[in-house]
Every structure is written in C-alpha cells, then in structure tokens.
Amino acid sequence: MTDVDRSAVPAPAGAARRPSGGRTTLGCRTFVDDIRDRADRQPDAPAIVTPETVLDYAALVDRIDRLAGRLAAVGVGPERVCAVALPRGVDAVVAMAAVVRAGGAFLTLDVDQPPERSAAMVTGARTGLLITDSTLAGRLDLPVPGPTVLLDRPYPGPDRRPAPRPVDPSSLAYVSHTSGSTGTPNAVLVEHRGVHDYLRFLVDDYGLDRDTVVVQVAPLGYDASIRDIFAPLVAGGRLVLVPRADLLRPDGFAQVVARFGGNTVLSATPSLLTALVRHADAARRLAGFRLVVTSGESLRPFLVAGGRSTLTGGLVNQYGPTECTMTSTRYHVPQPAETTRDLVGEPVDGVTVQLLDADLRPVPDGTVGAVHIGGAGVARGYCGRPALTADRFVPDPLGPPGSRMYRTGDLARRGPDGCLEYLGRADRQVKVRGYRVDPAEIEGALLGHPAVTAAVIVPETDEQGRTWLIAHVTGDLDGTTDAALRTHLARTLPYHMMPRRFVRTDRVPTTASGKIDRAALGAGRPTAPGGPA
C-alpha cells in the first residue's frame, strides 16, 4: 500500500490553529460521521434514489460500514489514497464514504475519461488501492501497485466493521486534480478539516434539510461532485442519481425533476442554467426549485439575459479553486439581479480572502488586487510537487503562526459593501464549461503528435459569454485532418479540453522579446485555411 509523501507535501505548521470563523471544528469528526448520525435519527428515510432503487439511511450506512471493514482489512488507513473507479451510482457513493470511514483518502475517477489520463491521476496521487468492478478493471488497466477491491465479486473474509477512532483534522480526506502546465494533472491534497467544515457550512447557510432533494449533476472525478453527493446526506435529505446524459438536455432534466421531486441543484454551471431557462416551458418546470447553486463560469451573461427572473427560488453564485476545498465565497443573487458586475460575494465561514498587490500588501477597497485565500479550506498542497506547492501556497501574514494562503492567480476588487467582484485571471488559465483549463496542457499534448511542430491554444468567448478553445498549429499537416488531431488529443485529454477549431499556420507570431504574440494570432482569426474536419 502506498502512502502520500508528507515530507514532499507537509501539513502546515500551526494547522490546528487555523481560523474557523466562529465555527468550532468538530475535532475528530468526518462528514461520514454526520451521515451516520442521520441514520441513527432517521433510519428509514430515503437517502439515495435511482431509477432502479431507493436506499434508506440505515441501509446506506450498513453498506458503508461493510465496505469500510473490507478496506481496513487490506490496510486502508490514514494517508492511504484509494482510487474509486466506478460508474455513476450508489456503489461509487458507498465507496467514497467507506474509504473515509476506514480512515483513508479517496480519489474518484471519471471512468469515461481517457484511460491514459486516469492512469496519470492515480500515479500522480501515489494511489495504493483501487476500488472498481471486474469489467472496468480490465478496460482501464490502472497502474495501482496495491490491492484491487472488486465490488461485483463476493468478499471471502469475515464481516468486520471498523470501530470508531479519532481522525486527525489535518489528515488527508480526498485527492482532486487540476489542469497542469507540465502536461500532467496536478493532484491536490485536501484535508478533513476543510471538507467537513465546508459541508457543514453549506448545509447551514443554504438551508439544506430533510426536505432537500438534490439532483446530482457534476460528473464523478471532479470535486464539485463531492458537494453534490455528500451535502444532502449530511443534511438528512435525498440524493437523486441518474445518468448524467439525462440531465444535460432541458427535456431530460425536466423529466428527472418531475419523476423524483428534485428541488435543489448544488453544481450547475451557468451554461447549463442558460440551456434550462431558454426552454419554452422553463418557468413552470423550474418553479419547484428551492435552491440552485452555480459555479465554474461567469454568471453575468446568464443574468444579463434575464435568467434570474425564471428562477423564483434561491440562486447562489459560488467561487473557489480546487486548492481551497471547492468553494471560498458565495453570493446570494437577489431578485432582480445586479447585472453590471460579476459578483461572487463574501467568504464562507472559516475562509479569508485577501486582495493583495505585487508586494503582498492589501489594496484599498475598489482597487484591483490578486486574490489570496486563507483559512481552514486551504489544501495541503500538490502531491509530489514541492516547488509548485511552495510557489502557490505562501505564508499568510494575517493568519496564525505557520498558516498559509493560496495564490489563486485571479483578480478581483472589493466593493464598499464587502462584496467581491471577480475580474478574471492574471495568467493563462481559463474556464471552459465550468472546468479550469491550463492551455499549456493542451499545447503539450498537441506537440506529442509527430506532425505538429508548434501549438498555441487561444480562448474565444461567444455572444453568450461561453468560452471555447482554438488551436493554432504549425507543421507538415497536409495529410492530417482535424479529426486525426482530436483522436490524438482524446487519448490523454477529457472532452472539455478539446479545441473547437484547429487553425493551420506557417509560423507562430512572436513579440520583440521572442514570446508568443497571442494578440497577433487573434481569437478565432485564421492565419491560414483550416484543415478538413
């Protein structure tokens, strides 16, 4: 079994003294403990609903405990990373929770992404155990050095359930990934303190309760799915799991809502909201929603188009990087909405947001500053990337001794009311359909094609405010179609990182200093005819 190298990515000194915004961190508790408490109080209440089954809280906790005992028997414990490679459904939820119950940390994989990317993720996270089924185990062929637990095979050992034991708040809870400029995804190490405090805050601040019915939208493998899945269960509500393809069409989404009584969405991108509210019958179909939470892209185009008037319930705009446990600020969007600024609100409990200049000095209100996030949600760092960790996770001058803040690369300014206005990136990273993308990763993948000699990715924004990507490429590409380039990229990159267009060019323009002149390329202005699709 493989341990996470804590010497390469140390837990911060003074971690136990990080601020919690007045909320007491519940010491050794985890979010799975909260779910177990719900099972004690409401054992027969439905916890997870799918088209095939209904699982109540007692049955859910029983399945979690049984699998946790099986995992503990093969060595799962603190700092052990377990990959969960399962289809969207009850088994995946149980596996994630069982890893935490056994004291380990989970890495959830999207089994529909390229196997090579999944392999890079399990390697980068130093994964020591795989939870999957026999079909996926053969197809994915993941390089996990430890044991593989197949959920569709009977367990030969005794039914042992782990006894409750203290969990260090600074121990690892899960690993998530962000796009990396080196061509390899960066594994972000998130600790129990951050995720437990965040889920408890979300339940309290957003008013989630036993009547909450969450339609789970975010794909597995992305940290938003952790919020989607576990916040309603911590609240004692109901989680609805259906094939994600059913939710990406307005008609399919409406049918799911009507069938299962959905009244809450916790991870909708503005692009998805725009598609839903443009449907002719949108007002009636969305009338039953108590709460819609959105993140990942600018909400302003949706609001400018009048989308807020269609959502009669609560609408919350969230902001926060993966490196800070999913969400750092939230803005409860009023009715009617402010449409002149891209507002992301105020910090969640236990989080600090500082706007600093180049010398790490606070800027006055109304002045543009670089966003630095501190507090309980700040992750431990990047697994096996000490230099990158030191560059992005810097000492927090306003925090307790030894505390750190995350340098996001985003720009914002604070209004007189304390509300933050998001102003975009200071670097090249962009958001595409809610996913953070580093163009350098795509460029590196393109350079892996034998016919490509140079590649530059340029973002373009359409009239609805949606971002998409154009690839400018050089090389002997007369016999290489766009389809062939997409096939090459699809071996290592997920769908949201695929350029919409490929533009052939004789050379990549440069500035006087020799740097790529992205302005000269122009977003979407072809410098040479594109190849055949």
- Give CA angle at 191 (61, 142), nearest 5°: 75
Confidence of residue 15 (pLDDT cuts 50, 70, 90): very low
109 three-state secondary structure: coil
Q: What are the strands of the beta sheet with 501-504, ordered from one edge?
A: 452-461, 467-475, 501-504
DSSP letters for 405-451: EEEEEEEEEE-TTS-EEEEEESSS-EEETTEEE-HHHHHHHHHTSTT
User: 442 pLDDT exceeds 50?
Assistant: yes
Give the per-residue pLDDT at 330. 97
Q: Mean pLDDT, the chain, as a whole number? A: 86
User: 322 pLDDT exceeds 50?
Assistant: yes
pTM of the model: 0.81
User: 276 pLDDT exceeds 70?
Assistant: yes
What is the dihedral angle through the alpha carbons of 21, 25, 30, 33, rounded to the nearest 10 degrees? -110
User: 123 pLDDT exceeds 60?
Assistant: yes
Q: What are the strands of the beta sheet with 172-178, ordered from one edge?
A: 148-150, 129-132, 81-84, 105-108, 172-178, 186-191, 381-382
**Beta carbons within 8 Å of 372's beta carbon, 6+ residues apart:** 353, 354, 355, 356, 360, 394, 396, 405, 406, 407, 408
User: 513 pLDDT exceeds 70?
Assistant: no
* Angstrom distance (rounded) from CA 485 to CA 473: 10
Tell me the pLDDT tens digit for each residue of 68-104.
999 999 999 999 999 999 999 999 999 999 999 999 9
CATH number, span 438-521: 3.30.300.30
Task: Give the residue-averaged pLDDT of 454-476.
Answer: 85
Tell me the pLDDT tens digit for each residue of 167-209.
899 999 999 998 765 667 899 999 998 999 999 999 999 999 9
The domains of the chain are located at 15-420, 438-521
Element (H, E) at 354: strand 351-356
CB count, 10 Å around CB of 476? 10
Token readout for 220 is 């597995």
Task: Give the residue-averaged pLDDT of 293-314.
Answer: 86
Per the model's pLDDT, the better-predicted residue between 515 and 293 turns out to be: 293
CA dist 36 to 57, 492, 532, Å? Answer: 8, 39, 57
CATH superfamily of 15-420: ANL, N-terminal domain (3.40.50.12780)
Tell the residue number behind the tokens 């992305």, with chain if given.
222
